[in-house]
Amino acid sequence: MSTTWLPCGNYHQNYVEDHAWWQTKFIKGKMIFLALILFFVIPFFADSYILSVCNLIGYTILGALGVQLLIGFCGQITLGHAAFVAVGAYTSTLLILEFPWPKIILDLGLAYPISIIIAAFTAGIWSVLFGLPSARVKGFYLILTTMAAQFITVDLILTQYVSQIGGRGQAFSLPPGTIKLGPWVIDSDLKVYFMMLFLVILCTIVMANLLRSKVGRAWVAIRDNDISAEVMGINVFKYKLLAFFVAGSIGGIAGAFWISNLAAISPDHFPWFWSLWLVGVILIGGAGSIHGAIFGSLFMVLIMEGLQLAVMPLADTFPKLLMDFLFIKEAAFGLAICAFMIFEPNGIAYRWWQIKNYFNLWPFSY
């Protein structure tokens, strides 16, 4: 029997219905409407600025998904995720610019797609190396370990050694035509936008399916109480390292994607503040929810862009405002974190869940 609408909500007759992606016709219609907006309205009616903002939102979502997996679903605190994004970005860049690909690979435009896969694997392995201490430490000590990943990776290895390859100094130039997907050259905001949509949807589906599997249930058990999880027979160390690998891989994909939006790449694109920013995104969006990574990214990027647009008209009268915008942005970030911790500690995703339940259970919403 199919899912049936009742005045006080939905009920399911079997396991398949309970775990269906789209459980009602209303949800199917809502998702079709969202797809129309994403694939037809925005690409063909938005200007270059709006597309660039959308690409930044997608990049933030990709970065926040990995942090959400570690903190929200597995309970492993991280403050160094920008390091794994940087590893993915530099791995992809070096493979495109320095690796001697066979001519057939270059002619078919497969160098960049292959580099994304290798970047994901490399960033995942690098993340596992810094996840090893999670077997013996947790909480504050794990925070310090993940911060070490940021400083060792970006400030030491990438800045002092990797950036010097080829005598380039601090930056790798990415001339137009460098990034290709098959016969298509990714040389415009619109093409970057479509690639961003594909990667965000792919990573979201993969992560959602993992969370619905035995692996995801093990992660949640570890998050709730790792001692109880071990008593139940879960190999806590193995699943923690798997969480670090998957989170690092998604971060590597984020970095490999972001180079398509840059004319040159340097360690300055991956500061420690970006790691802190991603943690803030999931705290505002809601920890323990994929929706949280998406809503948090939308909120933070749009609020900061709106703040910048508000400051621009005042630049002529108060030029120091524009010069100090970075500090204004950081202050707004801190105020947003404090406001959500006080007034909405469960994040935007929890509020969205409440709105959906109110609608589905009406008129018995209590």
- C-beta separation of 210 from 216 below 8 A: yes
**pTM of the predicted protein model:** 0.92
- C-beta separation of 223 from 73 below 8 A: yes
CA distances to 60, 124, 131, 191 from 117, in Å: 19, 11, 21, 19
- C-beta separation of 55 from 192 below 8 A: yes
- C-beta separation of 80 from 146 below 8 A: yes
The reported pLDDT for the residue numbered 1 is: 46
Which residues, in sequence order, are bridge partners of residue 331? none
Phi, psi of 9 (to 5 degrees): 125, -160
Q: At what angle do helices 272-285 and 81-97 cross, to 10 degrees?
A: 120
pLDDT in tens, the chain (366 residues): 444 554 555 667 777 777 778 877 878 888 999 999 999 999 988 899 999 999 999 999 999 999 999 999 999 989 999 999 999 999 999 999 888 989 898 888 899 999 999 999 999 999 999 999 887 888 778 888 889 999 999 999 998 888 877 665 667 888 877 888 888 889 889 999 999 999 999 999 999 999 999 999 999 999 999 899 999 999 999 999 999 999 999 999 999 999 999 888 988 899 999 999 999 999 999 999 999 999 999 999 999 999 888 888 777 777 777 677 778 888 888 999 999 999 999 999 999 988 887 777 776 655
SS3 264: strand
Residue 166: burial class (beta carbons within 10 Å; 0-12, 13-18, 19+): exposed
Rounded Cα gap, residues 137 and 220, in angstroms: 18
Rounded Cα gap, residues 279 and 147, in angstroms: 13
Helical (H) or strand (E) element with 146? helix 140-150
Query: Where in the chain does DSSP place strands (E)?
Result: 4-6, 9-11, 172-173, 180-181, 184-185, 264-265
Cis peptide before 363 (omega within 30 of 0): yes
Rounded Cα gap, residues 176 and 188, in angstroms: 9
Which residue, 90, 116, 150, 97, is CA-closest to 249? 116
Residue 79's Cβ-side half-sphere holds a number of Cα atoms within 13 Å equal to 14
Phi, psi of 46 (to 5 degrees): -90, 145
